Amino acid sequence: MAEENFLVPSNTYLKSGIHIGTKFRTNYMEKFIYKTRPDGLTVLNLSKIDERIRAAAKLLSQYNPEDIMVASRRENGWKSVKAFAKVIGCKFFAGRYPPGILTNSALENFIEVKLILVVDAWPDRNAVLDALIVGVPVIGLCDTNNQSNNIDLVVPCNNKGKKSLGLLFWILAREFLKEKKIISKDEEYKEKFEDFSDEV
């Protein structure tokens, strides 16, 4: 994919560290890896990141916002997830995911959703397992060390950095609004990146 077709300039991606993986790599994530640096860190392919963010936005836009749930157990994703949920109007859990909230209709806080997005499939595994039980598709942000079990759409990225998560959710919210025809071009998107990340 030519750089001029990226959702944001490649430099913006690079500055956020969205492409920096870990020193570990799973077999599944191998196809998203561009190279391994001399210090042992793996680097994700920017074109594949961009491609999968587009795919995630398209998939999300097929659902009503109230039928979408985003979960982030890890604190680095809380601000991004809250900002994303506010912009598009979906449900979210920043912090502990209440077990059984999707599967036990007797619970007072029981909710029904049709699509789940998790920031990291391992810490957010309870949400992933609940989605599996109720038959709801899962979009998962995956770093080089993630397994992709039970994830329907993998979005490769650095899912641990505040800046990379901020950028990813900022783009995802914009693309969702465009897919939904709420805005027609990037210039109409008024959300600030600072609202999605502490690190600008």
Q: How far apart are CA 23 and CA 41, in angstroms?
A: 5
Rg value, the chain, Cα: 16
Q: How far apart are CA 160 and CA 73, in angstroms?
A: 11
Identify whether the C-beta of residue 71 lies closer than 8 Å to the C-beta of residue 99: no
pLDDT for the residue numbered 200: 60
Identify whether the C-beta of residue 191 lies closer than 8 Å to the C-beta of residue 177: no
Lookup: tokens for 51: 């491609």
For residue 164, which of 79, 37, 65, 56 has the smallest C-alpha distance? 79
Q: How far apart are CA 21 and CA 25, in angstroms?
A: 8
Domains of the chain in sequence order: 9-181 (3.40.50.10490)
pLDDT for the residue numbered 67: 97
Lookup: tokens for 192: 């600030």
pLDDT for the residue numbered 1: 47
pLDDT for the residue numbered 28: 86
Identify whether the C-beta of residue 121 lies closer than 8 Å to the C-beta of residue 151: yes
pLDDT mean by block of 10 residues, the chain; 200 residues: 76 93 87 90 93 97 97 95 96 91 90 96 92 96 87 95 96 96 90 85
How many other CB atoms are there within 10 angstroms of residue 138's CB atom?
A: 22
SS3 100: coil
Q: How far apart are CA 189 and CA 200, in angstroms?
A: 18
